[in-house]
Amino acid sequence: MPLPPRGRPSLALTVVLALVSTALLTGAALPRFATAAPAAGEQRVQEQRITVPGGPGSTAPVDLDTSFYLPATTPAPAVLVAHGFGGSKADVDADARDLAARGFAVLTWSARGFGASTGQIALDSPDYEVADARALVDWLAARPEVQQDGPGDPRVGVTGGSYGGALALLLAGYDRRVDAIAPVITWNDLGQALFPNAATAAPPPARTPAEGVFAPDGVFKRAWSGLFFSAGLRPSQEEPPTATDGPVTCGRFTAEVCAAYTEAATTGRPSPAMVDLLRRSSPASVTDRITAPTLLVQGEQDTLFGLDQADANAREIAAAGGTVKVLWYGGGHDGAAPDQAVRDAIGNWFDFHLAGTGADPGTGFSYTVASGVRAGSGTPTSRTVAAPAYPGQPGTAPLTTAPLALGGDPQVVVNPAGGNPAAITSLPGLGGALGTLSGRLSAFTADLPGQSAQFTTPPMQSPLTVTGAPRVQVTVSRVPGQPAPAEAALFARVFEVSPDGLRSLLGGAVAPFRVPVPADGSPTTVTVALPGVVAPIESGHSLVVSVATTDQGFAGGTDPAVWRVGVTGDGLSVPVVPGQSISAGTVPFWPLVGIGGVLAAALLVWLGARARARRRIPPAATGNDRPLEIRDLAKTYKGGFSAVQSVSFDVEKGMVLGLLGPNGAGKTTVLRMLMGLIRPTAGTITAFGRPVGPGAPVLARIGAFVEGPGFLPHLSGADNLRLYWAATGRPEAEAHVAEALEIAGLGDSVKRRVGTYSQGMRQRLAIAQAMLGLPELLVLDEPTNGLDPPQISAMREVLRRYAAAGRTVLVSSHLLAEVEQTCTHVVVMHRGKVVADGTVAEIIAGGGAATFAVDEPERAATVLGGLAGVLSVQVDAGVANTVHAELNGTPRAEAVRALVTAGVDVAAAGPRRRLEDAFLQLVGEDRAP
C-alpha cells in the first residue's frame, strides 16, 4: 500500500508509537506464557493464600496468591506453572486448565511483588522467589491429591515463560524433587541477556547453533531493561507502597535490585555487585546440577532472550549429563505466544516424564522455518524441521557451517557525540515487526549516514536456511588525527537483500560488542557472534553484514569517535542444521489482543484516513483517459544497483497485459513503483492522466494484489472483505462485493473461515479483495502462484471476465502458456529494460516463423521459397499438408496472397512459434522466467 508523502510522519507510525508506548508502560504488552483455550467441562479449582518466609533479614512473611487445579482422577502428578514478569497467576489460567485436562494437578501462583501476592521483587533470587517455589513443592508434598515418590517428595514438573521459565530452571537446580521441566523463552545468564557482548578474541572449541560469549562489561540493553523495571513500579493490588517502604522510585523491587538498576541505567555499565546479583538469578549458576529431563522452548522472534540463551542452557545441562530436548518456534517476546503445537509438545513431555504415559519425545531438535514468500503469494506458511539431535552436545556431530565470502574494503564510521542520533532497529515487544508493517517501513532498520560499515556476500547460488548465530571476524582501528576513546561500542547485524534492493533485518536484532582499540593505530580483531536466527535466504538474494556505531535500544558510546571497521578474509560463517520437514501450516495472524491488536488498529486508522482523503477523485484534467502510461522509468538503489532502466510502455482500456521477464528483470520493482510503494529514481507513471506516487489520490482507481493478502484466518472470506473495505472509509455501496465475488467465482466458500481455504481459494479471495470497488485498473503479481491446473484455468476466466466489462488488467506472471492464453498484450523485460512490447500475436510472430496448411505442400514450398527475403522453407514430414517457412519480415498476408495466386489452396496460416519460443529468443535460453 502507498506510503504517506514525505515531510510529515505517517499516521500509522504515529498511532503505532503512541499506542505501543502506552501498552508497554501499562504492562499490557509484557510477554506472558501461552494463551491456550480452556478445556471443555468444569474443573475444580481451589483458591488459597500460602504463607512463605519473607527471606534473609526479613521478619515479615509473604503471602502468595495461589490456585490449585484438580484433574478428574487423583492422586496425580503435579505441575507448577509460573507466570511471566509483570503478570500474575491469571495469565496462566488457560495453561493450567489445559494441563489439568491432561490429568495433572496444577498449582499456579502470583510471584512475590506481583498480582495479589505480597513481598518485593528480587528477580528470581534463590533466597526469595526460588525459596518460595521450594515451599510450594513442600505444600504439594502434603496434598493427598498429588502423587508422591516418597515422604515429602511429590512427583512434580515445572513450566513457565520468560521470568517463569528461569524459575523452572533455577528450581530444578536447587530442588532435586523436581522431576521434569519445560522452560519457555527464558534466559541462561541474565548478565549476558541485559549486557550482551557477542565478541571474543577466539571462538570456543565447541560450536553450536546460537552460542554467544558474555563479557561482564557488556553493552547495556536499556530499552528492554527500562521496560521491565517500569513494570515493577506499579503497586500491588493488596499493599500499595508507602513512604516507609523505601524510595517510591524503587516500586516493589528490593533495595538491592533497585540500586543495581539505577547504577546501570545511569552509567550504562554493571557494577561488581550487579554482576553478582544477576549471576545468582541466572540458571547458568545451577545448570551443572540439573538432572530433571528438560524441554527447552525458545522463540525465533526475540530481542530480549535470544536463541543463544537456550543454546547455553542446552549445552550446560547436557555437559553435566542431563536429558535435554530443544525446540525453537516462530514466536517469542517480539512475536506470537506458543501455539497449540508447542503446548502439545510440553504436555507430551510431562505425559512421558511425569505420568509415564505416551511415546518417548526423545532428545532431538526442531525449529520453525517461515515461508519467506514474496509478492504475489497467498497467506504465509511455515514448516517444522526436525534434526536427530541438537548440534554440539556431547556425542553429537559438530555444527555444520557454510562459509560465505564478504566483499567490501575497511570503512570509516562515526560515533556522534552523545550517541545521538541513534539507529532504530527494534522496539521492545515488536522486534523488527515495524520493518515489515505496511510495505516494510525500512526507516526502522535503516543505517544512518556515516554510522555504519557494510559488507556484502555474492548472491546465493541456491537457497540457504540460516539456523543459529552466524559469525564474522571484525577488525577495528583508530583513524589518525581523529578522536577516539580507549574502546569502541559497536552493533553488528545481518540483512537479507533481494535483487531489487529490499532489505530485511534477520531476527529484527543486533549483536552489540565492546572492543578495546590500541592507541598506536594497530587493528583489534574480534570474532562476533551475530544474532541467532532461523532465516530462509532465497536464491539470488545476498546477505549484508552491517557494523554500526549506534542503536537506540542500547547504552552505547557517548564520546565522539571515528573508527575504521573491516572484516577479515574468512568472511561470514553461517550455521546450517539439516533436518527433515515434519509439518507445514499457516502462520497464524497475531492475536487480536495486545501488540497485535494495536498494530491492526493503527493500520486500519491509517487506511481509513488515507482513503477518506482521496474518496472523491475528479476526472483527469488533461483529458487523457489511458489507464496507464510509463515513461523512462528507472530505479537505482543504494550502492549503484540499477533494477529498472528507461522502461516505457502504455496500457490501453480493455487490455489484459502480461508483464514478463526472468527473475531479477525488474518486473516487481515496476509494480511496486506503480502502486506507490517505492519512489522511482527517474521517469514518470501516469494513471488516467494523473501522476502516480506514494499516497496519490488516483491510486483509489487501481486495485492491486502485490504484497500478499494477509487475511485473518478465523474470519470468513466475506468478513475479511468487509473488514478490508471498512478500513478504507468509503461507503459500503461502492464496494460491489457481490460483483467481485461473482467474478472471482468463490460461491458459498466465501462464508467459510479463511483458515480452511486451499491455496487456490486464498488466491481467488485475494483477487476479489483487489477487485473491491471494481477498480478501473487491476494490477496482479503472480495471481496463479501455487495453483493447480484446474485452478489456473479458473483464474484465467476470472481475468477475462473482469476485462470483458471494459476494465484493464496488468498481470505479472512466469507461466508463459497461461499468459499466451489469457493476455491480449505483452511487455517483456530483461535486465531492467523493455526488450519487446506488443500484442501476443506480434510477439510470437516477431521472428517471422509461420506455418501454412495447404493442399499441395511441395508446390507451396516452391512458391514460398521464391519470395524475396524468405530464409528457409520446410515441408513437415510428420504433419500432412503442412509447410513451415521463416519469412524474415515478409508479411504473412503477402505469403498467403502468393500461394493463392499460384493456385495453392490455403486452409490456415499462422505463427509457428509459441510465446515461450519468442521469450527465450528475446532473453536467452539460459534465463528462466
Q: What is the pLDDT of residues 9-67, one digit of tens each?
A: 333 333 333 334 333 333 333 333 433 334 444 579 999 999 999 988 777 899 999 99
The larger pLDDT score, comparing residue 599 to residue 352, is at 352
The larger pLDDT score, comparing residue 629 to residue 639, is at 629
CA distances from 921 to 646, 832, 895 (A): 21, 17, 24
Give CA–CA dist 737/717, Å, rounded: 11
> Is the dihedral angle over the CA atoms 772, 776, 779, 780 positive or is it negative?
positive
CA distances from 677 to 36, 508, 766, 771 (A): 38, 21, 18, 19
755/858 same-domain check: no
- Predicted local confidence at residue 246, as pLDDT: 57
DSSP state of 202: S
Give CA–CA dist 206/390, Å, rounded: 13
Question: Residue 286: pLDDT band by 50, 70, 90 thresholds?
Answer: very high
Write out pLDDT tens, residues 121-132: 999 999 999 999
Highest mean predicted confidence (pLDDT) among 372-376, 500-504, 616-620: 500-504
> Is the dihedral angle over the CA atoms 797, 802, 808, 810 positive or is it negative?
negative
Give CA–CA dist 445/434, Å, rounded: 9
Let me know if residue 598 belongs to a domain. yes
Characterize 493-502 residue by residue with b for buried, 16 or more Cβ atoms within 10 angstroms of its Cβ, and e for exposed: bbbbbbbbbb
Q: Which amino acid is at 478?
A: R
Q: Are strands 294-299 and 324-329 parallel, antiparallel or unpaired?
A: parallel
Characterize 272-308 residue by residue with b for buried, 16 or more Cβ atoms within 10 angstroms of its Cβ, and e for exposed: eebbebbebbbbbbbbeebebbbbbbbbbbbbbbbbb
Q: Give the residue carrying C-alpha cell 508523502.
A: 5
- Predicted local confidence at residue 866, as pLDDT: 86
173/249 same-domain check: no
- Predicted local confidence at residue 503, as pLDDT: 82
CATH number at residue 599: 3.40.50.300
Characterize 735-764 residue by residue with b for buried, 16 or more Cβ atoms within 10 angstroms of its Cβ, and e for exposed: bbbebbbebbebeebbeeebbebebbbbbb
- Predicted local confidence at residue 209, as pLDDT: 61
Phi, psi values for residue 266, rounded to 5°: -90, -30
For the residues 840-867, what does the mean pLDDT come to?
81
CATH number at residue 75: 3.40.50.1820
Q: What is the grid cell recorded at 144? A: 493427598
When the pLDDT of each residue in the chain is averaged and rounded to a whole number, the result is 79
Give CA–CA dist 279/260, Å, rounded: 13
Alpha helices in 81-162 (DSSP H): 93-101, 129-141
CATH number at residue 438: 2.60.120.260
The larger pLDDT score, comparing residue 182 to residue 637, is at 182
CA distances from 236 to 32, 86, 232 (A): 18, 11, 9
Q: Is the pLDDT of residue 887 over 80?
A: no
Residues 406/567, Cβ–Cβ less than 8 Å: yes
446/563 same-domain check: yes
235/289 same-domain check: no
- Predicted local confidence at residue 606, as pLDDT: 41
275/291 same-domain check: no
SS (H, E, C) 544-602: EEEEECCCCCCECCCCCEEEEEEEEEEEEEEEECCCEEEEEEECCCCCCCHHHHHHHHH
315/457 same-domain check: no
For the residues 330-337, what does the mean pLDDT come to?
85
Question: Residue 232: pLDDT band by 50, 70, 90 thresholds?
Answer: low
For the residues 54-81, what does the mean pLDDT come to?
93
Element at 744 (helix H, strand E): helix 737-744
Residues 163/88, Cβ–Cβ less than 8 Å: no
250/296 same-domain check: no
User: How far does Cα 237 stand from its chain's mean position?
Assistant: 38
Write down how long the chain is: 929
- Predicted local confidence at residue 759, as pLDDT: 74
For the residues 909-927, what does the mean pLDDT come to?
57
The larger pLDDT score, comparing residue 172 to residue 461, is at 172
Let me know if residue 373 belongs to a domain. no
Phi, psi values for residue 433, rounded to 5°: -60, -35
Coil/strand/helix, residue 537: strand
Give CA–CA dist 221/364, Å, rounded: 32
Q: What is the grid cell recorded at 541? A: 538474494
Give CA–CA dist 402/458, Å, rounded: 13
- This prediction has a pTM of 0.62
Alpha helices in 291-334 (DSSP H): 307-319
CA distances from 363 to 393, 521, 579, 755, 823 (A): 11, 49, 14, 32, 54
Residues 795/785, Cβ–Cβ less than 8 Å: no
Q: Which residues pair with 455 in a beta bridge?
A: 545
- Predicted local confidence at residue 594, as pLDDT: 35
DSSP state of 698: G
276/312 same-domain check: no
User: How far does Cα 171 stand from its chain's mean position?
Assistant: 34
Question: Residue 865: pLDDT band by 50, 70, 90 thresholds?
Answer: confident
- Predicted local confidence at residue 309, as pLDDT: 93
- Cβ-in-10-Å burial (0-12, 13-18, 19+) of 395 comes to exposed
Residue 398 CB neighbours (<10 A) = 11
Residues 662/640, Cβ–Cβ less than 8 Å: no
Q: Which amino acid is at 298?
A: Q
Let me know if residue 856 belongs to a domain. yes
Give CA–CA dist 845/848, Å, rounded: 5
Give CA–CA dist 653/890, Å, rounded: 31
- Predicted local confidence at residue 248, as pLDDT: 59
Residues 811/658, Cβ–Cβ less than 8 Å: yes
Let me know if residue 394 belongs to a domain. no
- Predicted local confidence at residue 110, as pLDDT: 96
Element at 609 (helix H, strand E): helix 594-613
Q: Is the pLDDT of residue 520 over 60?
A: yes
Let me know if residue 362 belongs to a domain. no
Question: Residue 752: pLDDT band by 50, 70, 90 thresholds?
Answer: confident
The larger pLDDT score, comparing residue 340 to residue 453, is at 453
Residues 557/420, Cβ–Cβ less than 8 Å: no
Domain assignment of residue 888, given as a range: 848-923
For the residues 518-531, what does the mean pLDDT come to?
90
- Predicted local confidence at residue 566, as pLDDT: 95
Give how many domains the chain has, as a whole number.
5
Coil/strand/helix, residue 656: strand
Question: Residue 708: pLDDT band by 50, 70, 90 thresholds?
Answer: low
- Predicted local confidence at residue 447, as pLDDT: 73
Q: Give the residue carrying C-alpha cell 528470581.
A: 124
Among candidate residues 259, 280, 301, the one where a domain is terminated: 280
287/267 same-domain check: no
The larger pLDDT score, comparing residue 172 to residue 825, is at 172
- Predicted local confidence at residue 600, as pLDDT: 42
Q: Which amino acid is at 559?
A: D
Alpha helices in 614-706 (DSSP H): 667-674
Let me know if residue 500 belongs to a domain. yes
For the residues 367-385, what does the mean pLDDT come to?
58
808/829 same-domain check: yes
- Predicted local confidence at residue 9, as pLDDT: 36
Rg of the chain over Cα atoms, rounded to whole angstroms, equals: 32
Give CA–CA dist 392/59, Å, rounded: 47
Residues 868/885, Cβ–Cβ less than 8 Å: no
179/305 same-domain check: yes
- Predicted local confidence at residue 755, as pLDDT: 79
Question: Residue 917: pLDDT band by 50, 70, 90 thresholds?
Answer: low
For the residues 743-765, what does the mean pLDDT come to?
80
- Predicted local confidence at residue 815, as pLDDT: 66
First to last CA, the chain: 26
Among candidate residues 265, 280, 295, the one where a domain is terminated: 280
Among candidate residues 546, 580, 614, the one where a domain is terminated: 580
CATH number at residue 886: 3.30.70.100
- Predicted local confidence at residue 234, as pLDDT: 56
105/235 same-domain check: no
| Helices 11-26 and 594-613, axial angle in degrees (round to 10) | 160
Write out pLDDT tens, residues 417-446: 888 888 877 777 665 444 444 334 444 446
Let me know if residue 833 belongs to a domain. yes
Let me know if residue 27 belongs to a domain. no
